Amino acid sequence: MPKDNSIRSVLIIGSGPIIIGQACEFDYSGSQASRSLREEGIEVSLINSNPATIMTDPVTADHIYLKPLTPESIIEVLEERQIDAVLPTMGGQTALNLAIEAGKMGIWDKYNIRLIGVDLEAIELAENREAFREHAQKIGLKVAPSKIANSFLEGMEAAQNIGFPLVIRPSYTLGGYGGSFVHTKEEFEEALKRGLNASPTHEVLVEKAVLGWKEYELELLRDANDNVVIICTVENLDPMGIHTGDSITVAPAMTLADSTYQQMRNEGILLMRSMGNFAGGCNVQFSIDPVTEEIIVIEINPRVSRSSALASKATGYPIAKIAAKMAIGYTLDELKNQITKTTSAYFEPTLDYVIVKMPRWNFDKFKGSVNTLGLQMKSVGEVMAIGRNFLEALQKACQSQENNRMGLGADKKEWIRTDDILERLEKVGDDRIYRVKDALRLGVPVKSICNITKIDPWYIEQIKRLVDIEKELLRFNVAEDIPESLMRQLKTMGYSDAQIAWIMRIEEDQVRAHRKALGIRRTYKMVDTCAAEFEAKTPYFYSTFDNENESIPTDRKKIIVLGSGPNRIGQGIEFDYCCVHGLIALKEAGYEAIMINCNPETVSTDFDMADKLYFEPVFWEHIEEIIELEKPEGVIIQLGGQTALKLAEKFHEHGIKIFGTDFKNMDMAEDRGAFSDLLKEMDIPYPKYGVAETIEEALKIANEVGYPVLIRPSYVLGGQRMKIVINDHELERHVLSIFKHLPDNKVLIDQFLERAKEAEIDSICDGEDVHIMGIMEHIEPAGIHSGDSSAVLPTYSLSDQVIETMKDYTKRLALALKTKGLINIQFAIKDEKVYVIEANPRASRTTPFIAKAYQVPYLNIATKVMIGANKLKDFEMVNNLDGYAIKVPVFSFNKFPNVDKRLGPEMKSTGEAIRFIKDLNDPFFRELDRNRSLYLYQ
């Protein structure tokens, strides 16, 4: 069936603010779908309340509605625009729920809107666990024995009938919320209560736990002609028992024979075809008994999901793009493979590399949370790594994490006590994979580790190869002694130079020099969907140590944009938005735009955003090799948040040009001492402070400054380990903990301005002029991290004099720091006096928010200023905001049952929403204002 020409205008529903379990993967899917539909000449309207997304940017859609995801907003859109159809499958469960609600209210019927790419009955069936179970059995598939319970009594009965261990799964919740494993009767009551409460319908499924079975996910696509293909098969390294979002996963499946795989494929296709009638993407989870190879189906998601984003990046097959085309009538055989451009889109990608996805957790942000993993997803982001073998991909994934790991172990974070390690293998935490290697290193047999962890022995045997080769390496004392064959082998197995150096207790530079002398360099291979069977046109690369290099640099002028790595608290989707705009601006300025990033959920890693994409860890060794190959004019590090910024010094040392503010000045802004000296010299007030290297110094400074004081380590992100303390005792405890966790760090002690107002300014400076993008006033008082504060644009209560002072300070500081590009300055205001708290010489969390609220392409302008292609006076920047815009933080506290909502200087929110209000009488604003101090804690 060709395209349905009666669809001329489509509304796409986004997924709202980022929360755990629903992250920026839906920015990827929404953006891709929107671009895909516009390619077909369809007018796209988009609704989403999340301002940090690229999908809500004019580069993506024709009409953007930054509105709360409610039926009222939908009505507003439909009143304003002639919409033919709505596509609700690109915005996760949030969008689907909204579509269902609007459907029940008769909104779609009233406005004569078709729902495309979805079958509401199929959604209903997939979400209702009992109905789904019956359905699966009816079509001949096996499921785990289970019973539905709507009351405590029914739950207890079910447990008695099925026997332990059990899983409790609440109906209609997201990301496994409220679910748990229960091994004993004692645990059961509590878990059942929690489950019943978590479900909006107070319904849970009590199910036999198939702990330790292998876990798989299949990504399927179906068209209107009922053609189905499997885009990707993902094998969970962590077996059943850990939420797939919290599991390390591998593609393609490593331990499946064809006969078993084909049976699973058949069942997936059968299931998808049996679930209503819709054209689009779908994800099915299976579990396989490792002994008998019996297969059971776990669940189906008849929509684009987090795993679709991963599958798209893992295979190169743009699932959301194709799914959107199928929603408007195309069948797969009518479309081309987007990567080869010559072969059919109806095919199944094949991989000649290995993908490892590793979740990124942020347990340190949730005091009191338990870092054990289970049914409920707790990770805040993920990385994907590509290698030419499993170990290379696994170690690259570790290097991508940005938690100071140099790879899988062989760095200073190794554990050495067998008892501790064995305990951690049993109580699955976020560090299990590292502990597996530690255990092997200490001689624990492969078999024992398999028994404890239930991880497939193939993976354990692979990891054991690392332990074996490290022993071999220990025979050598200096880098120059490492023979070529061993060095090549180490690099092939994914070792970073830093790991090799650590094992031998030598310097990383020595390893690197010797390696380069041996001519052992990275080569780059293409991700092409077809294992090189057909020629591909897309410049999507990963590194390995194989023979042939396929990434041939062009003779164009190039600039590299460094991405922001995995999402975590304090570093989210907003930086991906900035990177995407950076790429577009570079292209417009005539450069070849090269992207380096490792986060599969992002738009910046779509193969058609940059001129060339390196899907690589944002890790020095990988970046350096790309720079040596590509020889770019320079790099842009202002857009990728702290991830990119903290590499500034390395670039500076290696003489690589940083576009925008230079390293010395960036360092001055980051270095509290130097920055305060600058402020003093410029006669700009700042809170009293001191820098301490010992406890004694800290106590002395705190007493001079006067309690309460704000304590933090220097050089951190998102207020990590920042705390307000009110007496000597608390100060001692916290300073000690900083020294313990962040050795070699200094402690900053600031006077805490109690009951002060906070405000911030984002601006662009071209070295001569400074443009104030926006001034935001925080509703919450000083003491709450700016990322956790509701920020109102423009200010609403500050006096003209204060505003003028802030502007004046911003302009003077931007020029004094020789800023080229973006700078964000944070202020505290007390008794009409303006203090500068900090300056961030980079894109901030709020830059996308201002660009959206004022409808000015600030990131595009900033990038062009940064690279010197334009001056500020070349642009006309007109603010289009009527009333106020509020940036509202969104939290995921409900994922951590024992954690309270307590806000302080350490950031905890996972996402944000934008809210437009006409005036200060708005009830939403008034509610925020009333509660402004409620959650302030230390």
Partner 1 sequence: MTEAFQHDAVLMLEDGSVFRGQAVGHKGISSGEICFNTGMTGYQEIFTDPSYFGQVMVTTHVHIGNYGTIDEDQQSEKVQIAGLICRDFNEEFSRKRADQSIQDYFDKQGIVGIEGIDTREIVRKIRDKGAMNCLISTSELDENLLAERLTETPNMEGLELASQVSTTEVYTLGNDDAAHKIAVLDLGTKRNILNCFVKRDCQVKVFPAKTSYADLAAWNPDGYFLSNGPGDPASMDYAIKTAQQLLEQDKPVFGICLGHQVIALALGMPTYKMHHGHRGINHPVKNLVTGKCEITSQNHGFCVEPEAIKAHDRVDITHINLNDDTIEGLALKDKPVFSVQYHPEAAPGPHDSRYLFDQFVDLLKSSKA
Query: 38 or 454, CB closer to partner 1?
Result: 454
Among 99, 191, 242, 253, binds partner 1 (CB under 8 A): 253
CA distance 3 to 39: 12
Q: Which of residues 301-340 bind partner 1 (CB under 8 A)?
A: 332-333
Q: How far is the CB of 283 from partner 1 (least distance, A)?
A: 18
Residue 518 CB, shortest distance to partner 1, in Å, is 12
Question: What letters, b where the CB count within 10 A reaches 16 and e where it falls short, cover 396-420?
Answer: bbbbbbbeebbbbbbbeeebeeeee
Q: Where are the alpha helices (DSSP H) in 234-318?
A: 258-274, 306-315
User: Other CB atoms closer than 10 Å to residue 334's CB: what's the count?
Assistant: 17
Long-range own/partner contacts, residues 513-519 (CB < 8 A, 24 or more apart):
513/479, 514/479, 514/480, 514/482, 514/487, 515/487, 515/491, 518/484, 518/487, 518/488
Q: Mark residues 351-370: x for contact with partner 1 by CB under 8 A, - for none.
A: xxxx----------------
Cβ at position 356, least distance to partner 1 in Å: 13
Stretch that binds partner 1, among 56-64, 454-462, 624-632, 757-765 (CB under 8 A): 454-462
Helices 390-400, 620-630: axis angle to 10 degrees equals 100
Diameter of the chain by CA atoms? Answer: 78
What is the smallest separation between the CB atom of 465 and partner 1, expressed in angstroms? 7
DSSP string, 297-309: EEEEE-S--HHHH
Does 879 interact with partner 1 (rule: CB under 8 A)? no
Q: Is 348 in the site for partner 1 (CB under 8 A)?
A: yes
Sheet of strand 833-840: strand arrangement: 833-840, 821-830, 757-765, 770-778, 791-793, 884-890, 911-917
Find the shortest distance in angstroms from Cβ 311 to partner 1. 14
Q: Which of 169, 222, 243, 265 binds partner 1 (CB under 8 A)?
A: 265
Q: How far is the CB of 530 from partner 1 (least distance, A)?
A: 7
With CB under 8 A as the contact rule, which of the stretches 164-172, 385-393, 744-752, 823-831 interacts with partner 1? 385-393
Nearer to partner 1, 185 or 475 (CB): 475
Between residues 313 and 365, which has the closer beta carbon with respect to partner 1? 313
Which one of 145-153, 486-494, 561-569, 736-744 is the stretch in contact with partner 1 (CB under 8 A)?
Answer: 486-494
Place of tokens 């100071």: 404
Q: Which amino acid is at 742?
A: L
Nearer to partner 1 by Cβ, of 424 and 464: the residue is 464
> Shortest approach of partner 1 to residue 291 CB, angstroms?
5
The yes or no reply on residue 485 touching partner 1 (CB under 8 A) is yes
**Could you tell me which residues come within 8 angstroms of residue 591 by beta carbon, excluding any fewer than 6 positions away?**
556, 557, 558, 559, 633, 867
Minimum distance of partner 1 from residue 353's CB (angstroms): 6
Task: Give how far the C-alpha of residue 534 lies from the chain's centroid of Cα atoms, to the nearest Å.
Answer: 32
Burial of residue 53, with CB atoms counted within 10 A of its CB: 0-12 exposed, 13-18 middle, 19 or more buried: buried
Q: 195-226 in b/e burial notation, b at 16+ Cβ within 10 A?
A: bbebbeeebbbbbbbbebbbbbbbbbbbbbee
C-beta of residue 823 within 8 angstroms of C-beta of residue 809: no
Each residue 228-247 as x (binds partner 1 by CB under 8 A) or -, in order, gives: -x---x--------------
Query: Among residues 197, 350, 448, 737, which is the contact residue for partner 1, using CB under 8 A?
Result: 350
Which candidate, 345, 355, 311, places its Cα nearest to that of 218?
A: 311
Binding to partner 1 (CB under 8 A) within 455-484 occurs at: 456-458, 461-462, 465, 468-469, 472
| Nearer residue to partner 1 within complex by CB, 95 or 332 | 332
What is the Cα 29 distance to its own chain's centre?
14
Which position among 8, 142, 194, 488 is part of the footprint of partner 1 (CB under 8 A)? 488
Under DSSP, the state recorded for 699 is H
Pick out residues in 491-550 that bind partner 1 (CB under 8 A).
Answer: 525, 530-535, 546-548, 550
Cβ atoms of residues 632 and 560 within 8 Å:
yes
Tell me how far, at minimum, the Cβ of 461 lies from partner 1, in Å. Answer: 4
Q: How far is the CB of 237 from partner 1 (least distance, A)?
A: 12
Total binding residues for partner 1 by CB under 8 A?
61
Q: CB atoms < 10 A from the CB of 797, how many?
A: 13
Q: Hey, what are 44's tokens?
A: 């796209």
Using the rule CB under 8 A, give the single segment among 138-146, 201-209, 255-263, 401-409 that binds partner 1.
255-263
Q: E strands, 505-575, where? A: 523-526, 540-544, 558-562
Residue 393 contacts residue 387 (beta carbons within 8 Å): yes
Interaction between residue 291 and partner 1 (CB under 8 A): yes
From 112-120, 227-235, 274-282, 697-705, give the range in contact with partner 1 by CB under 8 A. Answer: 227-235
Binding residues for partner 1 (CB under 8 A): 225-227, 229, 233, 252-259, 261-262, 265-266, 290-291, 293, 332-333, 342-344, 346-354, 388-390, 456-458, 461-462, 465, 468-469, 472, 485-486, 488-489, 525, 530-535, 546-548, 550
